[in-house]
Chains A and B, each alone.
Chain A
Amino acid sequence: MEKLPSHTKARHFGMVIDLDKCTGCASCMVACYSENNVSFRDEESIKLLSINWIQVYKITNGKPFPDTEVCYLPQPCMQCDGKDFGHPPCVSVCPAVATDFDTPTGIVSQIPVRCFGCRYCMAACPYHARKFNWWDPVWPADMERYLSPDVSPRMRGVIEKCTFCYHRFQRARQQAYYKGDAENIKEADYQTACTQACPSGAITFGDMDNPDHAVYTLKKSRYAFRLLERLGTQPSVYYLSTRKWVHRACDNYLEHEEPAAFAGKSA
């Protein structure tokens, strides 16, 4: 008997964030909270305890007034491929198989109910992308009414993180199946909530292996780089910036080293 395909065709989803465009408005953060049933508390200013799937950091070039420059750096889960396309740092350490590498999409999963809260993955992640539920989430007043059925609300004692809105991929795939062509998922059919929410168009998302998708070209830009790239985590999130100091700020360069995009140039 002919076997059915285990999955629709393999893809490698990735994101390219233009740091020269990001205004630091945090629409991506709020859209993500709302899309993914992220909880909140009345005290959120202790950031180590705060749950964010995407966080916008503010970095400066350190120069005095008026030569100061600011760059906003949105940081979701990097969805690392890790060694040999399948061994991100967090997946390798999880003793509960609560997180795995989704080979058909290149997305690192996280199944909160399977997690028992050891937080090894949190320690393993160099990007602080994983957040722990120190408390049971509470939605005050009637706020439970806005919860989305697409993402399961978490409980105390488990890890959660950005999933590249995997449920939106499921939604797109479901519709493709329904329409009779499971392979036919277009770029616009699957976009993460933050990509869609960015009011200044700084985020681009798509299949990095598909030449028809914008990310395919963008990630090859001379000015593209990845966060702490030299750790070898192979993130699926690329950043763009024409500013050298931004490249420098995003990896541990030694004094004499030049970011690749600027090597041999006096920028």
Chain B
Amino acid sequence: MSTQTDNTSNTPSNAPSPKKGATGWVILAFFVIGFGFSLLGGWVGFPNMLYKEVPHPIDFNHALHMDLVFDGCNSCHYFRADGSFSGAPTLNECRDCHQFVMGTDPNEEKFVEEYVLQDKEVPWNIFAKQPDNVYFSHAPHVKGAGMDCAACHGDIGTSESLRPYQENRITGYSRDIWGWEMSRLGEPKYAPRMKMMDCVNCHVEQTDSKGSCFQCHK
């Protein structure tokens, strides 16, 4: 600003007034506009550009199934004898019950017709999917630390409809990993976040150690 003042004062007074520059307020206004635009774009526009909504192949009703099975979550998501965890059921497991359409739900009809009868695995959207270099085992968490499913997966087990799934266009992973709140502040919208720092924070809180690389990576 001082430079400008100097320039002005150096101009001979009898000369026609040169083009007068913008005042400090105008410049500030531009700064604020830019600043505001960035904030708006970064917090509102950017997430919408970064993530794309991916429809679920089947709108799965967990609550309905929970009423029908005997062993809660374990009925379909279970530990195998070697301690590994089955994750999302395969078509063969679903087929144990759904050989034919049993109810009136259009989703079930779609499932049977498009997948069971055509012997095609359902391309489920996995909210908690992690990169290949991450080693995660359910056994130490569930059997060792006694955590329940909801502790990491939220209340999906009681939901009647699947929550929306958004995929990161750059990484291909679910929005749930970073968390729906771009700031990563406050209570997570659907389920706890699953970035490495989230694992670390919980481990430090619970065990006083974040562990070494090999504990969670391969």
A residues near B, CB below 8 A?
3-7, 97-105, 107, 109, 111-114, 150-153, 163, 166-167, 170-171, 173-180, 182
- Which chain A residue shows the least CB distance to B210? A6
Docked pose: A163 CA to B83 CA in angstroms: 22
Knowing A3-B208, A6-B209, A171-B82, the reply to whether A107 touches B214 (Cβ < 8 A) is yes
* Leading 3 A-B pairs by shortest Cβ distance: A178-B83, A6-B209, A6-B207
Q: Which residues on the A side are within 8 Å of B36 (C-beta)?
A: none
Within the complex, what minimum Cβ distance (angstroms) separates B96 from chain A? 23
Within the complex, what minimum Cβ distance (angstroms) separates A107 from chain B? 7
Of listed B79, B83, B131, residue having the most chain A CB within 10 A: B83
Q: Which residues on the A side are within 8 Å of B145 (C-beta)?
A: 4
Q: Which residues on the B side are within 8 Å of A101 (C-beta)?
A: 212
Taking the complex as formed, is B211 at the interface, i.e. its CB lies under 8 A from any CB of chain A?
A: yes
Taking the complex as formed, is B169 at the interface, i.e. its CB lies under 8 A from any CB of chain A?
A: no
Knowing A3-B208, A152-B218, A182-B140, the reply to whether A174 touches B84 (Cβ < 8 A) is yes
Within the complex, what minimum Cβ distance (angstroms) separates B160 from chain A? 32
Q: Which residues on the A side are within 8 Å of B139 (C-beta)?
A: 174-175, 177-178
Taking the complex as formed, is B132 at the interface, i.e. its CB lies under 8 A from any CB of chain A?
A: yes
- Mark interface residues in B118-148 (1 if CB within 8 Å of A CB, else 0): 0000000000000111010101100111000
Number of interface residues of B (CB under 8 A): 26
Taking the complex as formed, is B213 at the interface, i.e. its CB lies under 8 A from any CB of chain A?
A: yes
Docked pose: A170 CA to B140 CA in angstroms: 10
Within the complex, what minimum Cβ distance (angstroms) separates B30 from chain A? 40
Q: Which residues on the A side are within 8 Å of B131 (C-beta)?
A: 113
Docked pose: A175 CA to B79 CA in angstroms: 10
Show 26 residue pairs from A and B whose CB-CB distance is below 8 angstroms, ordered by the A residue.
A4-B145, A5-B207, A6-B203, A99-B213, A100-B212, A100-B213, A101-B212, A102-B215, A109-B213, A111-B217, A114-B213, A150-B218, A151-B218, A170-B137, A173-B137, A173-B140, A174-B139, A174-B140, A175-B82, A175-B83, A177-B83, A177-B140, A177-B143, A177-B144, A178-B82, A182-B144
The reply to whether B82 and A174 contact each other, CB–CB distance below 8 Å, is yes
Q: Which of A103, A153, A173, A179 contacts B212 (CB 8 A)?
A: A103
Docked pose: A237 CA to B137 CA in angstroms: 29
Q: Which of B135, B211, B213, B218 contacts A7 (CB 8 A)?
A: B211
Q: Which residues on the B side are within 8 Å of A7 (C-beta)?
A: 207, 209, 211, 215
- Mark interface residues in B176-214 (1 if CB within 8 Å of A CB, else 0): 000000000000000000000000000100111101111
Chain A interface helix/strand/loop/mixed:
loop
Total A-B pairs, Cβ < 8 A: 90
Docked pose: A32 CA to B39 CA in angstroms: 52
Knowing A101-B212, A102-B212, A170-B137, the reply to whether A3 touches B218 (Cβ < 8 A) is no
The reply to whether B213 and A112 contact each other, CB–CB distance below 8 Å, is no
Known: A5-B207, A111-B217. 5 other contacts (CB 8 A): A97-B213, A152-B133, A174-B83, A174-B137, A178-B139
Docked pose: A6 CA to B144 CA in angstroms: 11
The reply to whether B84 and A166 contact each other, CB–CB distance below 8 Å, is no
Q: Which of B137, B140, B143, B207 contacts A3 (CB 8 A)?
A: B207
Knowing A111-B217, A112-B133, A177-B144, the reply to whether A6 touches B208 (Cβ < 8 A) is yes
The reply to whether A104 and B140 contact each other, CB–CB distance below 8 Å, is no
Q: Which residues on the A side are within 8 Å of B209 (C-beta)?
A: 6-7
Q: Which residues on the B side are within 8 Å of A109 (C-beta)?
A: 212-214, 217
Docked pose: A5 CA to B194 CA in angstroms: 21
The reply to whether B83 and A179 contact each other, CB–CB distance below 8 Å, is yes
Of listed B131, B207, B211, B215, residue having the most chain A CB within 10 A: B215
Knowing A5-B207, A7-B209, the reply to whether A113 touches B214 (Cβ < 8 A) is no
- Which chain B residue shows the least CB distance to A151? B218
Q: Which residues on the B side are within 8 Å of A104 (C-beta)?
A: 212
CB-contacts of B39-75 with A (<8 A): none
Q: Which residues on the A side are within 8 Å of B218 (C-beta)?
A: 111, 150-152, 166-167, 170
Q: Which of B79, B133, B206 contacts A111 (CB 8 A)?
A: B133
